[in-house]
């Protein structure tokens, strides 16, 4: 009995969730076709079949949201607001938190940046994705050096916050409010960051913290309450939900007190002309304040559907299966001496299914092009919208050049790019095995085709 139960559990761990595109075949430059191996989940994950089916079932009933008296408008409004509640439950939000639907993680963090109180100081590690590194440039920003261990990350933030003047007994800080922005999982190395510990340090110094969960939420449960963060941001397209929606969820006060992110219908409660010819506006106090225009109801519904699907699948099983895939990829890459995996916290650091590496003797854009053209494998190459981090990990030392140059590289940095393989709940074992085999063969035998640079990309020569 125990053996059969273990076998059944193992099968459940090894079974990927159904996603779109699993039956798509692509041509190989060497001839023939092969099922496409989508190993670029960190950029955009394929849509879950469940999400696609839910959206297709709703599509005939699509209508305007919040401002329509007709049946379809009322149904769409209920669906939109139910999606908000589903996301709040998925994120373990507090009762008083707001869930704002945006376009993406980038949009969410720019919204929060626009809502910062006057004089707010922002603390952000240089290791962040550009979505969480760049929005704060109009604020007072302290950029923190890349830590080399989770403990060093906590200590670095502790020192930076302690350098501010001490707060008063009433809890207010003479320098004004502060915000810490941190990723949950690196989009370059996949390594998990000590979010709960960083949140504790931030709050101990009177600061707030926002979590960029773009790479964390598709792989691990994210609870605003358990992690004790003030806000969390993520993107639907990385959570197996296309259609261009994102989320900013968390404390309502800064959002309520800020001018609307976009001015327009939906954000305004009352608008009237003044005697002097101007316009008076009363803005909404809830999430609608920052959702001007016609809401992306299909995008919001897709996000909610993905949240339900991942919750029902069970993160314990999803995490266990992903650990198996991570172990297989890392073991395969370790068998190739010419491959160097990039890491900030070390080989033993816990991580999600995101692994970046460089190959001795190859330019990364050339290597990625060969994986695609000769094996039907889609990966990412470059600096992954995290330029300071990748340059830190590569140490600024040139690697030997392949046939193709790095896209958009600065002079002297033509080789400062890497290959990133990423996967998740929908990845079949075969895709991972094909990738490991392809890396081994390309390093051992070289590419079977000639390549050239075209518009900054490495492509097969014709």
Strand partners, 283: 268
CA distance 387 to 87: 31
Residue environment code for 429-448, b if the CB has 16+ CB neighbours within 10 A, otherwise e: eebbebbbebbeebbeeebe
Give the CA diameter of the chain.
Answer: 83
Distances (CA, A) of 319 to 110, 424, 433: 30, 9, 19
Active site residue 385: yes
Phi-psi region of 6 (alpha: psi -120 to 50; beta: other; left: phi over 0): alpha
Distance from C-alpha of 210 to C-alpha of 111, rounded to nearest angstrom: 12
Residue spans of alpha helices (H) in 163-269? 195-204, 224-227, 253-257
CA-CA distance, 83 to 326, in Å (whole number)?
32
CA distances from 46 to 142, 240, 413 (A): 36, 6, 32
Answer for the pair 60, 397: CB distance below 8 angstroms, yes or no.
Answer: no
Q: Which of 120, 307, 385, 458 is catalytic?
A: 385
Q: At how many degrees (to 10) do helices 297-313 and 315-334 cross?
A: 80
Strand order in the sheet with 178-183: 98-102, 246-250, 231-235, 208-212, 178-183, 121-125, 140-144
Three-state DSSP state, 355: strand
Report the alpha-carbon distance of residue 277 to residue 7 in Å, rounded: 75
Strand 231-235 and strand 246-250: the pairing is antiparallel
CA gap 356, 424 in Å, rounded: 15
Catalytic residues: 385
């Amino acid at each position: 009995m125990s053996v059969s139960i273990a076998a059944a559990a193992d099968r459940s761990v090894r079974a990927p969730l159904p996603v779109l595109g699993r039956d798509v075949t692509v041509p190989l430059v060497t001839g023939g076709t092969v099922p496409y191996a989508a190993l670029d989940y960190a950029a955009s994950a394929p849509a879950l079949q469940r999400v696609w089916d839910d959206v297709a079932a709703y599509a005939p009933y699509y209508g305007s949201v919040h401002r329509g008296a007709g049946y379809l408008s009322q149904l769409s409004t209920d669906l939109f607001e139910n999606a908000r509640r589903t996301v709040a439950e998925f994120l373990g939000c507090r009762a008083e938190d707001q869930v704002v639907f945006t376009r993406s993680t980038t949009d969410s963090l720019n919204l929060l940046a626009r809502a910062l109180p006057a004089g707010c100081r922002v603390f952000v590690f240089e290791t962040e994705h550009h979505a969480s590194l760049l929005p704060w440039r109009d604020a007072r920003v302290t950029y923190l050096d890349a830590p080399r261990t989770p403990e060093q990350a906590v200590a670095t933030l502790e020192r930076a916050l302690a350098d501010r003047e001490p707060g008063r007994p009433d809890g207010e800080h003479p320098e004004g409010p502060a915000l810490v922005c941190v990723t949950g999982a690196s989009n370059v190395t996949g390594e998990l960051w000590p979010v709960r510990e960083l949140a504790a340090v931030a709050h101990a110094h009177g600061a707030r913290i926002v979590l960029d969960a773009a790479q964390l939420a598709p792989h691990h449960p994210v609870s605003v309450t358990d992690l004790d963060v003030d806000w969390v941001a993520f993107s639907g397209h990385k959570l197996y939900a296309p259609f261009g929606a994102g989320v900013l969820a968390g404390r309502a006060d800064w959002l309520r007190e800020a001018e609307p992110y976009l001015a327009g219908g939906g954000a305004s409660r009352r608008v009237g002309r003044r005697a002097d010819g101007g316009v008076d506006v009363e803005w909404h106090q809830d999430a609608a304040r920052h959702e001007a225009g016609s809401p992306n109801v299909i995008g919001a519904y897709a996000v909610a559907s993905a949240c339900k699907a991942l919750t029902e699948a069970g993160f314990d099983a999803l995490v266990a299966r992903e650990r198996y895939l991570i172990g297989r990829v890392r073991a395969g890459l370790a068998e190739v001496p010419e491959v160097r995996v990039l890491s900030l916290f070390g080989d033993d650091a816990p991580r999600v299914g995101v692994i970046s590496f460089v190959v001795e003797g190859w330019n990364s854009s050339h290597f990625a092009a060969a994986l695609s053209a000769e094996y039907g494998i889609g990966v990412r190459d470059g600096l992954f919208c995290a330029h300071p981090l990748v340059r830190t990990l590569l140490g600024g030392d040139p690697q030997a050049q392949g046939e193709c140059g790095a896209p958009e590289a600065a002079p002297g940095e033509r080789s400062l790019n890497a290959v990133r393989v990423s996967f998740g709940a929908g990845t079949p074992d075969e895709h991972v095995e094909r990738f490991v085999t392809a890396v081994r063969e390309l390093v051992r035998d070289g590419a079977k085709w000639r390549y050239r640079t075209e518009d900054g990309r490495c492509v097969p020569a014709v």
